[in-house]
Amino acid sequence: MSGAVTIVRNNKKAMNYSNEIKIAKNYIITLFPDQDPQTAFDQLIKSGVLFAQMCNKIKPASVNISMVKQNYHYMSNWKQSIDVLKSFGFHDTLLFNPSDIVKDPPTPAALHALCLIIFALELKGGLTQMKDQDKNDLMDDFLERPQELMMIEALKLNIPEKTAEIAPIIEIPTEKSVEIEKTVEEPKVILEEKMKGTNVCLNFVVIWIALIFVKLLFSNHE
């Protein structure tokens, strides 16, 4: 894969290159607050573990992450992540060769491509957790290289939608609903009262019949 290497940056853009690294670092710290801010970005680059976790944030269990500290396993993390990015719709011009990012130090083209991918995932709705200040700085940075922003905007990513938990429906009683409930409850109460009265009458009749029966029984006995 050589697409990302075609993104050439001249010396005048050196300051912006440092700026995008800074923005990407801030973003990684935001995404992974439990990580050491001093080493989080280096871990993202070298082992590919954090980037794989980024992919899994978007599409759960898409990367089988290896924590083994060996280049072979680093390459495995990156290759899987690149495959996931391809499934999202990233084309080769925005991707890089995993071996270029695992190198010590990584190639500038691979680093630049990595930053663009992170920004694309943010701007196209894959993660959406970038702080407003960092997003403003990023837009300022893109003003000097609009062709790259256009590349990102042109992406039609197939990113899984985040499914929000469906909150239980809580019915808030309105004045009308209270009136309706009242009209339903009132006949119900009246009916219950009538039933109570009917039961009392029935009990009285049963007792009265029993007394008559006992009286007749005694009179016949006499």
pTM, two decimal places: 0.63
Give pLDDT, residue 16: 52
DSSP 53: H
Give pLDDT, residue 6: 35
- What distance in Å separates the CA atoms of residue 34 and residue 110, rounded to the nearest whole number? 26
Q: Taking Cα atoms as reference points, which of 39, 18, 17, 12 lies closest to residue 28?
A: 39
Give pLDDT, residue 46: 84
Give pLDDT, residue 48: 92
Give pLDDT, residue 164: 34
Q: Which residue has the tokens 């999202």?
A: 88
Residues of the chain with pLDDT below 50 are: 1-15, 163-185, 191, 200
The upper half-sphere exposure of residue 63, i.e. CA atoms within 13 Å in the direction of its Cβ, equals 29
Give pLDDT, residue 220: 55
pLDDT digits (tens, 9 = 90+) for 103-128: 888 898 998 999 999 999 888 877 76
CA-to-CA dists, residue 89 to 52, 75, 124, 163, angstroms: 17, 21, 11, 20
Give pLDDT, residue 191: 47
Give pLDDT, residue 213: 57
Give pLDDT, residue 202: 54
Assess contact for 142 and 149: CB atoms under 8 A. Answer: yes
